[in-house]
Amino acid sequence: MSELEEKIAQAREIIDCASNIVVLTGAGISAESGVPTFRGQEGLWQNYRPEELATPDAFWKDPKLVWEWYDWRRNAVKDAKPNPGHYALAELETQGKNLTLVTQNIDGLHQMAGSSNITEMHGNLWQIRCTKCGEIEQNFEVPLRQLPPKCKKCGDLGRPNVVWFGEMIEMALIDTILKAIEECQVMLIIGTSGVVEPAASMGLVAKQTNKTVIEVNLDETPSAGLYDIVIREKSGEILPLLFSSNNNRTLSS
């Protein structure tokens, strides 16, 4: 058995025995669906880094520019389909385990794959929130007809309903996630660079409370040394091998 096959077998067994699992996903799980990650070269748009645009300051300085970037991101996601990683997680949900799926992604691909119990930590790309009255509109227009878009209710400026750098995630949401980590036996961390808080610390919280942590990520991450099993492969190839109803699948190398 190769080292990778051994890790997969170990991870499968751990997941199989667990009744309570928390999964945290990041942009990497959608990379094989063609959605650019932030850290990769393709995350750049017109030479801006995401950190320069995904902020309240950038938005209030130039709402049109920030919306043009979101329009580009919506366009990059509009034809994307879930990949085997998303589908494997949706299937895990049907296996009678208590599964909490937390995602930093805003692309909606977990929903499209059939997962139903999803905590979207950073919001959703297909929602526009009014900066004045807070009204949230589901909007799938690509490209957007009006840039920046206006609120359908009060006519004021709309913003993407996402959490930007420097903004707070609702405390109640964090509490729910921490509680789920506290109650789980196993935490899976998939396709997240581990540098954006508070998601970055969630694996540490799991370790501090003696949970088994399994990471699937293509590249090195800052906290990998603390985790129990670390698989440096594509999530779309590995996740279908980790869950028991996919017994018949094998590594194609």
Q: Any idea which residues carry the catalytic annotation?
A: 122
Give least dist CB 153 to ligand NAD, A.
26
Q: Which of 100, 104, 161, 212 binds ligand NAD (CB under 6 A)?
A: 104
How many angstroms separate the Cα of 138 from the Cα of each of 14, 66, 158, 227?
39, 19, 12, 38
Distance between CA atoms of residues 104 and 108, nearest Å: 10
Q: Distances from the Cα of 237 to the Cαs of 60, 63, 231, in angstroms?
A: 41, 39, 11
CB closer to ligand NAD out of 20 and 65: 65
Tokens 């990379």 correspond to 31
Does residue 150 bind Zn ion (CB under 5 A)? no
Give the one residue of 17, 44, 133, 195 binding Zn ion; rule: CB under 5 A.
Answer: 133
Among 130, 199, 206, 213, binds Zn ion (CB under 5 A): 130
Binding test (CB under 6 A) with ligand NAD, winner from 189, 196, 229, 241: 196
DSSP annotation of 190: E
211 makes contact with ligand NAD (CB under 6 A): no
**For residues 199 and 182, what is the distance between their CA atoms, to the nearest angstrom?**
15
Least distance from C-beta 118 to ligand NAD, angstroms?
A: 12
When asked if residue 251 is in the footprint of Zn ion (CB under 5 A), the reply is no
Instruction: Choose the one of ligand NAD, Zn ion, none that binds residue 193, judging by a C-beta under 5 to 8 angstroms depending on kind.
Output: ligand NAD
135 near Zn ion, rule: CB under 5 A: yes
Alpha helices in the chain (DSSP H): 3-17, 28-31, 50-53, 56-61, 63-78, 84-92, 109-113, 171-183, 199-208, 235-242
Regarding 35 and contact with ligand NAD (CB under 6 A), the answer is yes
Nearer to ligand NAD, 82 or 236 (CB): 236
Is 122 one of the binding residues for ligand NAD (CB under 6 A)?
yes
Residue pair 199/24 in contact (Cβ under 8 Å)? The answer is yes
Partner from ligand NAD, Zn ion, none contacting 191, C-beta within 5 to 8 A by type: ligand NAD
How many residues make contact with ligand NAD (CB under 6 A)? 27
Q: Which is nearer to ligand NAD, 26 or 158 (CB)?
A: 26
203 secondary structure, DSSP code = H
Strand partners of residue 130 = 158
DSSP 14-31: HHHH-SEEEEEE-THHHH
Identify whether the C-beta of residue 55 lies closer than 8 Å to the C-beta of residue 165: yes
CB closer to ligand NAD out of 157 and 218: 218
Q: How do strand 123-130 and strand 158-162 relate by DSSP bridges?
A: antiparallel
What is the binding site for ligand NAD (CB under 6 A)?
26-28, 30-32, 35, 37-39, 104-107, 122, 191-193, 196, 216-219, 221, 234-236
What is the binding site for Zn ion (CB under 5 A)?
130, 132-133, 135, 151, 153-154, 156
